[in-house]
């Protein structure tokens, strides 16, 4: 019983971070119908920004989160307005898949060159502390990570649902042409959406960097995770990302605990395929799907 509860808690801890890492991907997919295969690279860049601030500047990565957000926001906007927009307008939405794949390769290799392919980790003073209630132990750093993830997801939900900016994004997602008729600069909004998605990827990267080791080659893993989370939870909404992330976290920890650590990937893909066959739009459905 203790083991089950402990595994449950671990799964939720992991799930919170997975949710945050997938939220940006989900937003980009939902609004622009673009699958960003460079999303994992964005997450890893965030982790390296945290690493730089911790090991070179001596600043706690958590404090640097706003700075990372701004940097990633700018990077994301630039990438969308140049490469991806060009690919989507000139070719097809599917071409964006290939372009972002190429981008992921470029970013990964650049990180390799700058930081070397070695596995890095960020370990601030609180990285090895743990706390607990009764028989359950919780790493402080994971708890902080979960808390930060939840705060940021709520922030994203408020941004999307309660502000004028969010209304513009939702309008663009539902009817790009109608939005354009209402004097919305759709390409600009797409740029901002990609920027917000990248900013959240970057923040997720910072938190992931504290929790677990990373290297440039982790990017494929994070892209895949984001996709599984979106398929499980539903496209476009922070709530969908949260549900999907928690589910994935639980699946991974329970499989590792009760079936065997070697089977986590197999289980993840099994659930992914079953989910696609049974309910491809995810548990919560497509957030902007009603009018499509």
Partner 1 sequence: MTLSSLQRNRHLLPVLVGVMALALFMLPPLFLSTFMVRVFLISLLSTGLAVSWNILGGFAGYWSFGHTLYVGVGAFTAGKLVPLLGPNLGGIEVLTFSIVAGGLVSGMLALVLAYPLLRLRGIYFAIAMLGVAELTGEISSSFDAIGGAMGLTLPIVVPENINPAVFYYYLFLALNAIILVIAAFIKYSRFGYGLASIREDEDSAKMLGVPTERYKIIASVISCALVGISGVLYGFYLGYFTTTSVFRVDFSLNMILHTLIGGIGTLFGPILGAWIMVFLTQFVLGKLLEIHILITGLLVIIIVLLAPSGIIGAAKAWLEKRQTAEEGISKGEESETDLYLNQV
Give the residues lining the site for partner 1 (CB under 8 A): 35, 83, 86-87, 90-95, 97-99, 101-110, 112-113, 220, 227, 231, 262-263, 265-266, 269-270, 272-273, 276-277, 280
Q: Which is nearer to partner 1, 33 or 175 (CB)?
A: 33
Beta carbon of residue 60, minimum distance to partner 1 (angstroms, whole number) = 32
Beta carbon of residue 98, minimum distance to partner 1 (angstroms, whole number) = 5
* Per-residue tokens: 290: 């009603």
* Per-residue tokens: 3: 């083991």
Q: Which is nearer to partner 1, 258 or 269 (CB)?
A: 269
Beta carbon of residue 59, minimum distance to partner 1 (angstroms, whole number) = 29
Beta carbon of residue 37, minimum distance to partner 1 (angstroms, whole number) = 9
Beta carbon of residue 18, minimum distance to partner 1 (angstroms, whole number) = 17
Q: Which is nearer to partner 1, 62 or 107 (CB)?
A: 107
* Per-residue tokens: 276: 């696609």
Q: Which is nearer to partner 1, 184 or 267 (CB)?
A: 267
- DSSP string across the chain: -HHHHHHHHHHHHHHHHHHHHHHHHHHHHHHH----TTHHHHHHHHHHHHHHHHHTS---TTTTHHHHHHHHHHHHHHHIIIIIHHHHHHT-HHHHHHHHHHHHHHHHHHHHHHH-S--B----GGGG-EEEETTEEEEHHHHHHHHHHHHHHHHHHHHHHHSHHHHHHHHHHH-HHHHHHTT--HHHHHHHHHHHHHHHHHHHHHHHHHHS-B-GGGHHHHHHHHHHHHHHH-SS-HHHHHHHHHHHHHHHHHHHHHT-GGGHHHHHHHHHHHHHHH-TT-SS--TT-TT-
Beta carbon of residue 157, minimum distance to partner 1 (angstroms, whole number) = 24
Beta carbon of residue 84, minimum distance to partner 1 (angstroms, whole number) = 10
Q: Which is nearer to partner 1, 90 or 177 (CB)?
A: 90
Q: Which is nearer to partner 1, 101 or 254 (CB)?
A: 101
Residue whose entry in the numeric block shows the structure tokens 């028989």: 135
Q: Which is nearer to partner 1, 23 or 35 (CB)?
A: 35
């Amino acid at each position: 019983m203790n083991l089950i509860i402990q595994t449950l808690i671990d799964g939720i801890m992991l799930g919170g971070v997975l949710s945050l890492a997938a939220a940006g991907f989900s937003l980009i997919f939902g609004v622009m119908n673009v699958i960003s295969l460079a999303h994992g690279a964005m997450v890893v860049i965030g982790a390296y920004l945290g690493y730089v601030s911790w090991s070179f500047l001596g600043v706690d990565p958590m404090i640097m989160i706003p700075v990372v957000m701004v940097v990633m926001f700018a990077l994301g906007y630039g990438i969308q307005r140049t490469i991806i927009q060009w690919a989507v307008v000139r070719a097809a939405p599917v071409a964006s898949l290939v372009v972002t794949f190429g981008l992921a390769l470029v970013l990964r290799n650049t990180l390799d060159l700058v930081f070397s392919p070695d596995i890095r980790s960020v370990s601030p003073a609180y990285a090895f502390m743990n706390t607990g209630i009764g028989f359950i132990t919780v790493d402080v750093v994971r708890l902080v990570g979960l808390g930060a993830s939840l705060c940021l997801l709520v922030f994203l939900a408020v941004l999307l649902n309660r502000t004028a900016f969010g209304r513009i994004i939702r309008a663009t997602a539902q009817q790009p042409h109608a939005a354009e008729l209402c004097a919305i600069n759709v390409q600009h909004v797409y740029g901002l959406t990609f920027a917000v998605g990248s900013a959240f990827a970057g923040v997720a990267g910072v938190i992931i960097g504290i929790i677990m080791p990373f290297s440039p080659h982790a990017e494929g893993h994070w892209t895949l995770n984001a996709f599984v989370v979106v398929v499980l939870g539903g496209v476009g909404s922070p709530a969908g990302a949260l549900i999907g992330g928690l589910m994935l976290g639980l699946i991974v920890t329970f499989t590792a605990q009760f079936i065997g650590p070697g089977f986590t990937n197999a289980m993840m893909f099994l659930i992914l395929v079953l989910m696609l066959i049974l309910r491809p739009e995810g548990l919560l459905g497509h957030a902007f799907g009603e009018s499509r």
